[in-house]
C-alpha cells in the first residue's frame, strides 16, 4: 500500500508541475485579416512562384542489429572481461532509497527519500551508525564533495528547492545552495558539482541545456555527461555543451532507469527499477545482472577500490568487487 501511495504522490506531483508551468493549457490560434491586405491582393497578379528542391534526408534509420553503434563508449577494458563478485549484503532498513555513496574510509551512506527524509550512515563493516533528518528536504540523491562533506538534493520538495551540504563528522547542515527548479541526480567531477534540474537542464557553473524529466540521475566521465530519463526509459550521453553523443533505449533490457555510474574504463552501470537489474553498457556488449535485485534505485562505483554499491529501493544493498 505504501508503494502505491508513493507512486500516486510522484505522479500527482508531476501532473501538478505540468499545471503550474502552464504546459497543458489549451492554445487557440486566431487570425484577423487587415482590410488593407485585400486591396493589395487586388492589385497583384500573383504572390510569387513555387518550386520543388530535393535535399538529402537527415533522418537516419537505426536497425536492431545496428543498435550497438549508438554506444560510442570507448573503454580500455572489454566488458566481457568484467566480473562482479558479491562481497556483502547491507541491511539498510530504508523504505525508499534514492541515493547511495561510499566514503574514502569505506563508510556507506543512503538517502531514505520522501516519507522518512533522512540520511543513514553505516560503518565499513556494514553496521548501522546513525540517522540524520533532512527535512524540509526530501533527500533524493547524494554525492561526496570531499572526504568529510556530502551534497544531497531536495527532490520533490516545494519549500526547500536546492542542495544541502552536510558535514559527516559533525552530522549537521553547513550550507544550502538554492536552485531554480527541483533537483534530482547529482555527481561530482573534479572540483565541480553537476546536478539534474527538472525541465531546466544540468546545472554546473553554467546551465547545460537539455529537457530533463523528474528522477533523472547523472554521472560524468572524460568530459562526457551521462544521465538517465526515467519517463523515456533511456540513457543519454552528451558532451559538456549538451549535444547528444548517443542514446540507449531498449525496453526489453532496461525499464525505469535510475542511478547511473561509470567505472575507470568508461563502462556505464545503470540500475533498472522496473526491470530489477543492473545494465552495463559498452561499445562491444551489453550485460545485465539480476542478482537478487528488487526495484534497485541507486548505484555508486568507487574508482579507488573498484567497489560497486547497488541499493534496492527497500531494505537491502549489495557490495561487489569489480574485476
Three-state SS for the chain is CHHHHHHHHHHHHHHHHHHHCCCCCCCCCCCCCCHHHHHHHHHCCCCCCCCCCCCCCCCCCCCHHHHHHHCCCCCCCCHHHCCEEEEEEEECCCCCEEEEEECCCCCEEEEECCCCCEEEEECCCCCEEEEEECCCCCCCCEEECCCCEEEEECCCCCCCCEEEEEECCCCEEEEEEECCCCEEEEEEECCEEEEEECCCEEECCCEECCCCCCCCCEEEECCEEEEEECCCCEEEEEECCCCEEEEECCCCCCCCEEEEEECCCCCEEEEECCCCEEEEECCCCEEEECCCCCCEEEEEEECCCCEEEEEECCCEEEEEEEC
- The pLDDT score that the predictor gives to residue 210 is 77
Instruction: Point out which residues pair with 89 in neighbouring strands.
Output: 318
55, pLDDT greater than 60: no
Determine, yes or no, domain membership for 51. no
Q: How far apart are CA 138 and CA 148, in angstroms?
A: 21
Determine, yes or no, domain membership for 6. no
Place of cell 546545472: 203
The count of other CB atoms within 10 Å of the CB of residue 111 is 31
Determine, yes or no, domain membership for 14. no
The count of other CB atoms within 10 Å of the CB of residue 305 is 12
pLDDT averaged over every residue in the chain: 85
124-127 own/partner pairs: CB under 8 Å, 24+ apart: 126/88, 126/89, 126/90, 126/91
Q: How far apart are CA 171 and CA 169, in angstroms?
A: 5
Who has greater pLDDT, 195 or 52? 195
- The pLDDT score that the predictor gives to residue 65 is 41
Determine, yes or no, domain membership for 58. no
Proportion of the chain above pLDDT 90, given as a percent: 65
Determine, yes or no, domain membership for 301. yes
Q: How far apart are CA 306 and CA 319, in angstroms?
A: 11
60, pLDDT greater than 50: no
Who has greater pLDDT, 213 or 7? 213
Assigned C-alpha cell, 238: 552528451
Instruction: Point out which residues pair with 316 in neighbouring strands.
Output: 91
- The pLDDT score that the predictor gives to residue 57 is 46
Picking from 8-12, 172-176, 255-259, 271-275, which range would have the lowest pLDDT averaged per residue?
8-12
118, pLDDT greater than 90: yes
Q: What is the mean pLDDT of residues 246-270?
A: 96
Assigned C-alpha cell, 236: 543519454
Determine, yes or no, domain membership for 32. no
33, pLDDT greater than 90: no
151, pLDDT greater than 50: yes
Determine, yes or no, domain membership for 234. yes
- The pLDDT score that the predictor gives to residue 46 is 62
| pLDDT level of residue 183 (50, 70, 90 thresholds) | very high
Determine, yes or no, domain membership for 11. no
Picking from 41-50, 170-179, 199-208, 229-238, which range would have the lowest pLDDT averaged per residue?
41-50
Picking from 32-36, 68-72, 245-249, 295-299, which range would have the lowest pLDDT averaged per residue?
68-72
Is the bond preceding residue 124 a cis peptide, omega within 30 degrees? no
Q: What is the mean pLDDT of residues 151-155?
A: 97
Which CATH number characterizes residue 277's domain? 2.120.10.30
317, pLDDT greater than 70: yes
Picking from 45-54, 77-86, 259-268, 295-304, which range would have the lowest pLDDT averaged per residue?
45-54
Q: How far apart are CA 245 and CA 226, in angstroms?
A: 10
Q: How far apart are CA 59 and CA 275, in angstroms?
A: 30
Picking from 75-79, 95-99, 292-296, which range would have the lowest pLDDT averaged per residue?
75-79
First to last CA, the chain: 40
Range of the domain at 218: 64-322
- Phi and psi at 68, nearest 5°, equal -65, -20
54, pLDDT greater than 60: no
Q: What is the mean pLDDT of residues 120-141?
A: 96
Query: Structurally, how many domains does the chain consist of?
Result: 1
Amino acid at each position: 500500500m505504501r508503494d502505491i501511495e508513493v507512486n500516486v504522490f510522484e505522479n500527482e506531483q508531476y501532473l501538478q508541475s505540468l499545471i503550474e508551468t502552464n504546459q497543458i493549457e489549451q492554445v487557440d490560434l486566431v487570425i484577423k485579416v487587415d482590410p488593407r491586405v485585400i486591396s493589395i491582393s487586388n492589385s497583384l497578379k500573383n504572390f510569387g512562384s513555387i518550386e520543388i528542391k530535393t535535399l538529402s534526408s537527415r533522418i537516419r534509420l537505426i536497425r536492431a542489429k545496428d543498435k550497438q553503434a549508438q554506444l560510442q563508449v570507448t573503454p580500455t577494458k572489454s566488458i566481457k572481461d568484467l566480473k562482479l563478485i558479491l562481497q556483502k549484503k547491507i541491511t539498510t532498513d530504508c523504505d525508499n532509497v534514492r541515493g547511495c555513496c561510499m566514503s574514502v574510509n569505506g563508510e556507506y551512506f543512503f538517502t531514505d527519500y520522501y516519507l522518512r527524509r533522512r540520511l543513514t550512515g553505516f560503518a565499513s563493516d556494514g553496521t548501522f551508525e546513525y540517522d540524520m533528518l533532512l527535512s524540509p528536504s526530501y533527500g533524493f540523491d547524494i554525492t561526496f564533495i570531499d572526504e568529510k562533506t556530502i551534497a544531497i538534493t531536495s527532490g520533490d520538495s516545494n519549500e526547500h528547492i536546492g542542495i544541502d551540504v552536510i558535514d559527516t563528522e559533525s552530522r549537521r547542515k553547513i550550507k544550502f545552495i538554492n536552485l531554480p527548479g527541483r533537483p534530482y541526480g547529482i555527481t561530482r567531477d573534479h572540483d565541480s558539482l553537476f546536478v539534474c534540474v527538472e525541465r531546466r537542464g544540468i546545472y554546473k557553473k553554467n546551465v547545460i541545456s537539455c529537457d530533463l524529466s523528474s528522477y533523472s540521475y547523472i554521472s560524468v566521465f572524460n568530459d562526457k555527461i551521462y544521465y538517465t530519463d526515467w519517463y523515456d526509459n533511456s540513457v543519454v550521453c552528451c558532451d559538456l555543451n549538451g549535444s547528444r553523443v548517443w542514446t540507449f533505449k531498449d525496453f526489453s533490457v532496461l525499464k525505469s532507469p535510475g542511478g547511473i555510474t561509470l567505472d575507470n574504463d568508461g563502462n556505464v552501470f545503470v540500475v533498472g527499477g522496473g526491470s530489477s537489474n543492473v545494465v552495463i553498457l559498452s561499445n562491444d556488449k551489453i550485460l545485465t545482472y539480476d542478482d537478487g535485485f528488487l526495484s534497485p534505485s541507486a548505484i555508486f562505483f568507487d574508482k579507488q577500490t573498484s567497489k560497486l554499491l547497488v541499493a534496492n529501493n527497500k531494505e537491502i544493498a549489495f557490495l561487489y568487487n569489480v574485476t
